[in-house]
Amino acid sequence: MSAGEVRSTCAYCGVGCGVLLRPDGAGGLAVRGDPEHPANLGRLCSKGTNLGETVDLEDRLLHPVLNGTRVDWDTAIETLAARFRDTIAAHGPDSVAFYVSGQLLTEDYYLANKLMKGFIGSANIDTNSRLCMASTVAGHKRAFGTDTVPGTYEDLEEADLVVLTGSNLAWCHPVLFQRIAAAKAARPDMRVVVIDPRRTATCDLADLHLPLAPGSDVALFNGLLAAIQTGGAVNDAFLENVDGFDAALATARQSDLGLTALDPELLRQFFQLWVRTEKVVTVYSQGVNQSSSGSDKVNAILNCHLATGRIGRPGMGPFSVTGQPNAMGGREVGGLANTLACHMDIENPDHRQALRQFWDAEAMPEKQGLKAVDMFQAVGRGEIRAIWIIHTNPAVSMPDADAVKAALEGCDFVAVSDVTGQTDTARLAHLLLPATGWAEKSGTVTNSDRTISRQRAVLPAPGEARPDWWQLAEFGRRMGWAQAFDFTSPAEVFREYAALSSISGGFGLDFDISGLQDLSDADYDQMAPVRWPVTAGRKGGRFFGDGRFFTASGKAQMLALTPRPPQASTGKRYPFRLNTGRIRDQWHTMTRTGKSAKLSGHLAEPFLELHPADAKALKITPSALVTVTSPHGRSILRALITDRVQPGEVFAPMHWTGETAPSARIDALVAPVTDPVSGQPESKAAVAAVQRYDAGFYAFAVATQRFTPQADYWARARTAQGWRAEFAGSSLPEDWTAYACDLFQLDGGEMQILSDLRRGTFRAAFHREGRLQAALFVAPEPVAVMRDYIAGLAGTEAPQALAGRLGADQPDPGPVICSCFGVGVNTILTAIEDQGLMSVDAIGAALQAGTNCGSCRPELAELLARLPAREAAE
């Protein structure tokens, strides 16, 4: 670390990479990976690398707003407390709710939970982790007695076989992917298997890819359990510590492997590899959790590790990777409606009593609160009359999102704490509370392997923004619980929390960080990353290698599991299985990554991955738009025709919103169907119909100022010089010139027009003081212009902008693959061809692509593989 740098943690995923931040004194931030952080050892992915592009104040919410009017904090918090107080007085504690987030810091989260469960006296606090980790939490608790991740990141490198199931690690946990890739390069005998209905970027590392039928994971892992037994890999000694083996095996044997729709030879190879390899780690994520059988999928995986005793020892174990930066911390503080703080149980009277005493709590619920889907349905029915939403955007990210929107529209009182007022959810709030953002706030987060890291404020709080923990503590004081919420710093909150964990340790539970309860403010300031548990006698390490579990009997539980298909069946009306998920360079609802031009260049538009055979049958041509309908909603997306998806299956990203592409809010199509055990929604297996969207026109536009097309379909993205948008409509405007003037709201300046009404094409460019302000390209078919090139012209002289492309001798670089150096796909393909490049490293040497953060390396490998008769070498 050099002078002027501050250690912190990346804002995004659960890998929890350490970053070194250097403020430039003008609001900007230089970011690099922390070589000493155990999660990343200096690496960062494209999102972490470009954090500096997301901290400007554009679109920030800078003061509280009540019913559209700016108010001071005193009025804001008093209103919030009064509305909650009155609602509770009239309708009881269960008529209010908090909906929070796995992106809150531990200190924020702890206070939210303490408020609701200890003082309001309801358990109506749930979190977006319900949409994310709930099935894993349920699976862990059923098998282990507690929600414990047994292993550590080092296991991924020490394993001889890494199985990645329902995880697109290359895009969603890129630094872990890079760590595995490096381990495999060093030890080529290491094997990687990817289990995913889609062929993802992660498959570039795979020795085997199993494109299983959506939702068929239980059948697959049941088959594996049976193969473990026939293959002689059952660990009888370890089974002394496990209950339920016989029943689990008997049920597994009856389960039909045909449900996976996998080639028997592929199954044989996978089973053989797993059975024969002692050091195996099974990594799983949302393809497992987000399912109506999510908890069973988790237990089916755990069954195999328990039967073989491959758990909690170096290089072995099941490994649930967490999504959000503090998804793990949220589970620890008891942020879910069915848990208590420090992994204690709401149904356990001893746990409740101990917590009540520790908090000197006024009122404690005895039963679970409403889980996310039920919570918003209760809002819709008017049973929950006041809700405070903190650090999450449910009007976009919840299933049946239009119903969630309608529920919030009809709710008596909605408060939203966010860094921006420009989200689909914030627009529905009566009260908006400005939160300090990632680089402006301090606290702790816990990553996927139980490592607690400090996040540190390096930029001043803008305007009147206040940290989430402060908002919660102040609310608690205004509610009349002055002593219980008398916190003046995150360090004080952390000490109380660490002290509380000694109680759960006393109950013999896993989560115990009592060794950190006496940290001074200075110690907390300096705190280095540390893996829990942290007690007088123990620091970090793995769980369960010793065969001791946290169930009443002390033994692990294997479960007998019967496969269930996704809840909705495809049929004549909705023939497609709609899968949803993430792309490499955007984070969820894009409120932060969407500000970065570099990140927005990778995939600038929402899309639907569709198999070529289906596209052909539906007469959908490349780059056409498609209408996707489900029983719950409708959307319009760009067709991306690819054999990465199977026939009958389609995939759409979850990121676009009313702010960026209103017709692409994909959760409007997802049914509010949940896993019966965990309450986690089935976000990966909706049903849908797909049709060609009959566009009367297609358009592409760039401008230096933000603009919003009026059209059936539009998608807007940031560029280095301004904004770009794709749009399309079924009917043509009467006058394109008037439309263009209206669109860009430019007055004055010069306008150049190139219009061929017979062919339906129209082009306009607006210059002011010799610089291009805006340009519009319209055509009856998807507009063929060099998009990145035109986007780069905004703000320059650009006399030939209307040509839409470089001269014939200058090729189109194509869409960006490497966001760090802005290298386009065509540039890479041409270099591969012309220079005979044979490896990802050779591409890096020739073009720099892939040599900084490395997030695009899987895509570079795929480009190499695309060219016939070549061996792609990573």
Ligand X SMILES: Nc1nc2c(c(=O)[nH]1)N[C@H]1C(S)=C(S)[C@@H](COP(=O)(O)OP(=O)(O)OC[C@H]3O[C@@H](n4cnc5c(=O)[nH]c(N)nc54)[C@H](O)[C@@H]3O)O[C@H]1N2
Nearer to Mo ion, 399 or 505 (CB): 399
Q: Please choose, from the candidates 718, 696, 717, 722, the residue with its C-alpha nearest in 3D space to the C-alpha of residue 775.
A: 722
What is each CA distance from 633 to 259, 400, 627, 667, in whole angstroms? 29, 8, 11, 8
Q: At what angle do helices 217-230 and 294-308 cross, to 10 degrees?
A: 10
Question: For ligand SF4, which residue of 7, 8, 12, 161 counts as binding (CB under 6 A)?
Answer: 12
Q: Please choose, from the candidates 743, 703, 741, 746, the residue with its C-alpha nearest in 3D space to the C-alpha of residue 722.
A: 703
Site string for ligand X, 682-711 (x = CB under 6 A): -xx---------------------------
Owner of token pair 């709201």: 745
**Rule CB under 6 A: is residue 679 a binding residue for ligand X?**
no
Nearer to ligand SF4, 12 or 144 (CB): 12
Site string for ligand X, 465-484 (x = CB under 6 A): ---x----------------
Q: Which stretch in 6-14, 298-306, 562-570, 721-729 sits in contact with ligand SF4 by CB under 6 A?
A: 6-14
Tokens linked to 861: 């490998």
At closest approach, how far in Å is the CB of 750 from ligand X? 39
Site string for ligand X, 201-220 (x = CB under 6 A): -----------x-xx-x---
Nearer to ligand X, 98 or 238 (CB): 98
At closest approach, how far in Å is the CB of 215 from ligand X? 5
Instruction: State the Cα–Cα distance between residues 494 and 499, nearest whole angstrom.
Output: 9
What is each CA distance from 390 to 68, 81, 363, 419, in whole angstroms? 19, 15, 23, 10
Q: Which stretch in 394-402, 490-498, 745-753, 775-783 sits in contact with ligand X by CB under 6 A?
A: 394-402
Instruction: State the Cα–Cα distance between residues 310 and 301, nearest whole angstrom.
Output: 11
Nearer to ligand X, 66 or 776 (CB): 66
**Rule CB under 6 A: is residue 48 a binding residue for ligand SF4?**
yes
CB count within 10 Å of CB 238 equals 19
**Rule CB under 5 A: is residue 294 a binding residue for Mo ion?**
no
Is 634 within 8 Å of 669 (Cβ atoms)?
A: yes
- 414 membership: H or E segment, kind and range: strand 413-418
Gyration radius from the chain CA atoms: 27
Instruction: State the Cα–Cα distance between residues 864 and 858, nearest whole angstrom.
Output: 10
Q: Please choose, from the candidates 428, 583, 474, the residue with its C-alpha nearest in 3D space to the C-alpha of residue 112.
A: 474
766: β partners: 751, 774
Nearer to ligand SF4, 175 or 386 (CB): 175
Site string for ligand SF4, 17-36 (x = CB under 6 A): x-------------------
At closest approach, how far in Å is the CB of 9 from ligand X? 13
Question: For ligand X, which residue of 391, 405, 454, 531 counts as binding (CB under 6 A)?
Answer: 391
Residue 175 binding: pick among ligand SF4, Mo ion, ligand X, none (C-beta 5-8 Å cut-off by kind)? ligand SF4
At closest approach, how far in Å is the CB of 299 from Mo ion? 20
Give residue number: closest CB to ligand SF4: 48
**Rule CB under 6 A: is residue 387 a binding residue for ligand X?**
no
Q: Please choose, from the candidates 37, 48, 44, 1, the residue with its C-alpha nearest in 3D space to the C-alpha of residue 22.
A: 1
At closest approach, how far in Å is the CB of 285 from Mo ion? 8
Residue 15 binding: pick among ligand X, ligand SF4, Mo ion, none (C-beta 5-8 Å cut-off by kind)? ligand SF4
Q: Which stretch in 114-122, 168-176, 287-295, 595-603 sits in contact with ligand SF4 by CB under 6 A?
A: 168-176
19 Rama class: left (phi>0) / alpha (psi -120 to 50) / beta: beta
Nearer to ligand X, 50 or 591 (CB): 591
Q: Interaction with Mo ion in 319-338: which residues (CB under 5 A)?
A: 323
Question: For ligand SF4, which residue of 145, 166, 174, 244 counts as binding (CB under 6 A)?
Answer: 174
Nearer to ligand X, 401 or 509 (CB): 401
**In sequence order, what are the residues at sequence separation of 6 or more whose Cβ sits closer than 8 angstroms to the Cβ of residue 711?**
699, 727, 728, 729
Instruction: State the Cα–Cα distance between residues 313 and 79, nearest whole angstrom.
Output: 53
**Rule CB under 6 A: is residue 45 a binding residue for ligand SF4?**
yes
Residue 165 binding: pick among Mo ion, ligand SF4, ligand X, none (C-beta 5-8 Å cut-off by kind)? ligand X
**Rule CB under 6 A: is residue 47 a binding residue for ligand SF4?**
yes
Q: Please choose, from the candidates 273, 231, 246, 174, the residue with its C-alpha nearest in 3D space to the C-alpha of residue 584.
A: 174
**Rule CB under 6 A: is residue 128 a binding residue for ligand X?**
yes
Is 577 within 8 Å of 214 (Cβ atoms)?
A: yes
Is 371 within 8 Å of 126 (Cβ atoms)?
A: yes
**Rule CB under 6 A: is residue 9 a binding residue for ligand X?**
no
**Rule CB under 6 A: is residue 856 a binding residue for ligand SF4?**
no
**Rule CB under 6 A: is residue 390 a binding residue for ligand X?**
yes
Nearer to ligand X, 171 or 744 (CB): 171
Angle at 169 between CA 577 and CA 556, to 5 degrees: 90
What is each CA distance from 590 to 354, 604, 656, 659, in whole angstroms? 41, 12, 7, 9
Q: Interaction with ligand X in 405-424: which residues (CB under 6 A)?
A: 417-420, 423
Locate the DSSP E strands across 24-159.
29-33, 65-66, 69-70, 96-100, 125-127
Instruction: State the Cα–Cα distance between residues 201 and 198, nearest whole angstrom.
Output: 9
Contact positions vs Mo ion (CB under 5 A): 132, 323
Contact positions vs ligand SF4 (CB under 6 A): 10, 12-13, 15-17, 40, 44-45, 47-48, 173-175
Contact positions vs ligand X (CB under 6 A): 13, 101-103, 128, 131-132, 165-168, 171-172, 195-198, 200, 212, 214-215, 217, 285-288, 290, 323-324, 390-394, 396-397, 417-420, 423, 435, 437, 468, 579-582, 584, 586-589, 591, 654, 666-667, 670, 683-684
